[in-house]
Structure 1
Amino acid sequence: MSPKDVSSGGTSRTGPFTPARIAVIVIAVLSVVFIAENTGDVTVRLLIPLVTIPLYVALIVMFVAGMACGAYFFRRRPK
């Protein structure tokens, strides 16, 4: 059998700015702008107690929780 040709004839998408990474960066920037624009106080129910916190704190907590869930479920698995 002959060895396989592993060279690619076209451009590769392994650089730092792939379309998926650009989309994630755009969504993250839009999320930060949305959070910065919403600074009023809100009342949030945490199972039993009612807590009054600035809306941006609640949004940041949910943003970080979403990023953690996304990183956990879409991480690269070893082959």
Structure 2
Amino acid sequence: MEIGVRDLRNRTAQVIDAVQSGERVTLTVHGEPVADIVPHGRRARWLVGGNLRDQLRDRAADPGLARDLNELAGQTIDEL
């Protein structure tokens, strides 16, 4: 959906309804896009330290990547 800044005053409720339903709305001035009105993103919850460790352990890098990174650790750019 695209809407001019002047038209926005008259159709605010319609624009809000569109955004609430997941649509992205482009706001224009003299036909030129100036801003996007997008649905609000949900923020991730903060995890307690123990839970964060569990989440990270369960999402560990694949063994091959971990091995490659361990081999590179400590090397300087000149050695690479």
Greater length-normalized contact order (CA 8 Å, ≥ 6 residues apart): 2
State whether TM-score is above 0.5: no
Greater radius of gyration (CA): 2
TM-score tier (shorter): under 0.3
Structure 2 length normalisation: TM-score? 0.18
TM-score by length of 1: 0.18
